[in-house]
């Protein structure tokens, strides 16, 4: 479901040299005039314990040639390979940016379930031409980034702490590239967007002033876990090594083939994701509670936030489904509900009937109920979670929250199917340069939508307002959410419209369910 791409290699014009606090970095100027610095290291992985906190990146002994955009952390899904020393940045700089003419900074964390993805998947060509610095960040995945042990050497959330290390490097060094360290927006989609949401509640210092969260939330099902203190020993045993202690398991796993580690980690009893860390003396934690108790946050108060989702996030799943697929989905309601609520059988059956009746009425689970099932799964997987995040921001006292729904399907393979909408990741084609299996954005309408998306996102990065003024490209002002009864959102399509309370009946329905059952979440037990 997450797009994996290789960055297109631009035609180079000349080298460009920047002096940072870590030494000299040599990038290149493209034929379009913007500058690139690829594969710039911001931290080092401790190869004696690659599952723990990163180490400070030493100064460069020689000028660093920043020309490799395709470094990636170990993974074994859509692509296979990677290197442990993967903590790098790809930086795109507008042609007139320099230390005396600094530009706002957009920092991107990729999605991929915290298991796949890398910085080079997202080319910054279109965004950098909107007069902002673009930085895409590599961070560790799977067990390297998300083992959560009862052990101060591997306390949890190392992948998110990699992102902290990247933000600290950016804060300290981006000025030398022409970036403004006082104007840093962090952004991400899917689990990358969830990472951004987690940063709004972290125990680290304020390293950004804006946040963009696309199709995700800290409340997204499956994004947060309790942590499995036995995961390292279990993973070592899957690789043929019996360990009685974490220390022994970590020593063994540190010398194992990282790709094999990633492959076998898919067979662990519990999945690996952000967790509530156990506190240890001398260890700086990222988060030490669960999302249900994210109640106070100066970062939420101090940051402007843009959050939203696509209009039919899961449409492709059901549109592509054949008869056998629908046969396999007969228990979709009970299975999903049992994933998020620990209920006795009778209570689960009652709730399942209520939810099924709400979405399907008397319709069967079949192709004929494709649209209703899409609404259910989209609401379950993310739509309502994002509403819960917005509610939390307002309770905490966020200054400005901008809500959106991306609805454009002019380049979708499903556009001719009645009821189609924008699916998960579809907006990314209108923000980034996608090189593998790209959407062919060639029509005037498609190019206009790309210009519109990049302009709004860049405006938010620069001004904290995606539509600071009405133009031909942006014909409608985007109204932020307030603490009042209104819940405005921008419907992003050919015709821009501000609506109120997106899918309000469905969201109210889930509000009631969560109000009644939130204490039955397995995360609390």
Among the listed residues 31, 54, 190, 369, the single catalytic one is: 190
CA–CA distance, 518 with 199 (Å, rounded to integer): 23
| Radius of gyration for the chain, computed over Cα atoms and rounded to the nearest angstrom | 23
Token pair for 500: 């109120």
The CA distances from residue 363 to 275, 366, 370, 421, 508, in Å, are 39, 8, 10, 21, 22
What does the block give as tokens for 211?
A: 């946040």
Whether 190 sits among the annotated catalytic residues: the reply is yes
Which token pair is 278? 């156990």
Q: How far apart are CA 14 and CA 369, in angstroms?
A: 57
Q: How far apart are CA 38 and CA 398, in angstroms?
A: 35
Region of 180 on the Ramachandran plot (φ > 0 left; ψ -120 to 50 alpha; else beta): beta
Q: Which two three-digit tokens encode residue 86?
A: 């993967």
Q: Is 488 helix (H, G, I), strand (E, B) or coil?
A: strand
Gap between the Cα atoms of 190 and 273, Å rounded: 13
Q: SS3 breakdown of the chain: % helix, strand, coil, rounded to 5? A: 35, 20, 45
Task: Please give the Cα distance from 466 to 478 (Å, whole number).
Answer: 7
Count the neighbouring beta carbons within 10 Å of the beta carbon of residue 190. Answer: 28
d(CA 286, CA 145): 13
CB-based contact 37:170 (threshold 8 Å): no
Question: Where does residue 435 rank: exposed (0-12), middle (13-18), buried (19+ CB within 10 A)?
Answer: middle
> Of 138, 143, 164, 169, whose CA–CA distance to 49 is shortest?
143
224 Rama class: left (phi>0) / alpha (psi -120 to 50) / beta: beta
Rounded Cα distance between 271 and 266, Å, is: 7
| Phi/psi of residue 145, nearest 5 degrees | -110, -15
Please enumerate in sequence order all residues whose Cβ is within 8 A of that of 317, keeping only pairs 6 or more positions apart, or say none.
374, 377
Beta-sheet strands, E only, within 438-485: none
User: Distance between CA atoms of 72 and 53, rounded to whole angstroms?
Assistant: 18
> How far apart, in whole angstroms, are the C-alpha atoms of residue 179 and residue 187?
16
Distance in angstroms (rounded) separating the CA atoms of residues 406 and 383: 12
25 DSSP β-pair partners:
18, 64
| Residues carrying an active site annotation | 190
């Amino acid at each position: 479901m997450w797009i994996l791409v290789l960055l297109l290699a631009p035609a180079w014009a000349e080298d460009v040299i920047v002096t940072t606090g870590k030494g000299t970095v040599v990038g290149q100027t493209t034929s379009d005039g913007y500058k690139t610095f690829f594969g710039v290291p911001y931290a080092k992985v401790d190869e004696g314990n690659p599952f723990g906190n990163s180490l400070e990146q030493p100064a460069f002994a020689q000028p660093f040639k920043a020309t490799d955009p395709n470094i990636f952390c170990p993974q074994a899904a859509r692509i296979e390979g990677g290197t442990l020393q993967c903590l790098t940045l790809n930086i795109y700089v507008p042609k007139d940016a320099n230390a005396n003419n600094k530009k706002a900074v957009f920092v991107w964390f990729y999605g991929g379930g915290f298991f796949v993805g890398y910085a080079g998947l997202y080319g910054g060509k279109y965004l950098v031409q909107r007069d902002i610095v673009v930085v895409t960040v590599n961070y560790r995945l799977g067990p390297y980034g998300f083992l959560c042990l009862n052990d101060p050497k591997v306390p949890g959330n190392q992948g998110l702490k990699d992102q902290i290390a990247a933000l600290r490097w950016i804060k300290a060094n981006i000025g030398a590239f022409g970036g403004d360290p006082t104007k840093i927006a962090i952004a991400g989609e899917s689990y990358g967007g969830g990472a951004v949401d987690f940063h709004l509640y972290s125990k680290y210092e304020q390293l950004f002033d804006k946040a963009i969260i696309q199709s995700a939330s800290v409340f997204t099902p499956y994004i947060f876990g309790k942590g499995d203190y036995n995961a390292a020993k279990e993973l070592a045993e899957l690789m043929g090594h019996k360990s009685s202690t974490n220390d022994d398991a970590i020593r063994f796993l540190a010398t194992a083939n990282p790709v094999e580690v990633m492959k076998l980690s898919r067979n662990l009893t519990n999945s690996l994701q952000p967790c509530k860390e156990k506190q240890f003396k001398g260890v700086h934690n990222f988060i030490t509670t669960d999302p249900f108790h994210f109640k106070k946050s100066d970062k939420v108060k101090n940051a402007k936030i843009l959050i939203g989702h696509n209009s039919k996030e899961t449409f492709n799943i059901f549109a592509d489904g054949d008869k056998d697929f629908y046969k396999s989905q007969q228990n979709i309601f009970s299975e999903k509900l049992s994933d998020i609520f620990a209920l006795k059988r009778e209570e689960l059956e009652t709730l399942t009937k209520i939810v099924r009746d709400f979405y399907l009425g008397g319709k069967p689970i079949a192709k004929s109920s494709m649209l209703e099932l899409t609404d259910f799964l989209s609401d379950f997987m993310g739509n309502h979670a994002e509403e819960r995040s917005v509610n939390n921001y307002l309770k905490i006292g966020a200054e400005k929250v901008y809500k959106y729904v991306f609805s454009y399907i002019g380049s979708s393979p499903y556009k001719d199917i009645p009821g189609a909408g924008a699916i998960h990741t579809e907006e990314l084609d209108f923000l980034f340069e996608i090189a593998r299996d790209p959407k062919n954005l060639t029509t005037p309408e498609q190019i206009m939508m790309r210009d519109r998306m990049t302009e709004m996102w860049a405006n938010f990065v620069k001004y904290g307002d995606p539509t600071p003024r009405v133009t031909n490209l942006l014909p409608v002002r985007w109204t932020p959410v307030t603490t009042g009864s209104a819940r405005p959102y921008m419907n992003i399509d050919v015709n821009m419209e501000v609506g109120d309370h997106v899918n309000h009946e469905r969201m109210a329905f889930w509000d009631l369910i969560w109000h009644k059952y939130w204490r039955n979440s397995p995360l609390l037990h």
